[in-house]
Amino acid sequence: MTILANVWAYLWGTLTVVPFLGFPLVYFILYGMTRNKKLASRFAINITNLLVIRSAVSAYELIWPEAFSAWWWVFCFYLVVTILLGWVQMKWKGRLSLKKVGFSAWRLSFLWFGIVYIVLFTTGIIKTMGVV
């Protein structure tokens, strides 16, 4: 492998294990390029959300390799949350804005998958220590 491929592999591996490092990394790179704090923070939050989801899925698959695919759980989560938020919005406002529902589901997923990642990370450590 080339040096660039090695650096990319180590960076990707580090961001999979510690996805919250993605926020300052993306923020400072984007802020340095654009000098726009609002754009940099929004983009960094979105990238960190993707990293947290990927890390939670990876941790799930390492802990339970024979289990049902974690990507289906992610899909079901988004489906249920979108339906519930749409229903709540229809009850309160009387109309449905898919843009607001999607944005809210995306932001809630950051909180949910952050918690899931921490629980799975801790479970993986405990399971590994039980084997050793």
Residue 132 has pLDDT above 70, yes or no: no
| In the chain, where the domains are located | 3-131
Residue 13 has pLDDT above 80, yes or no: yes
pLDDT given at position 1: 67
For 53-96, write each residue's pLDDT tens digit.
999 999 999 998 888 899 999 999 999 999 999 999 999 998 99
pLDDT at residue 130 greater than cutoff 80 = no
C-alpha span between 50 and 44 (Å, rounded):
10
Q: pTM of the full predicted structure?
A: 0.86
Name every residue whose Cβ is closer than 8 Å to that of residue 59 and which is 6 or more positions away in sequence. 117, 120, 121, 123, 124
- Residue 4 token pair: 């660039």
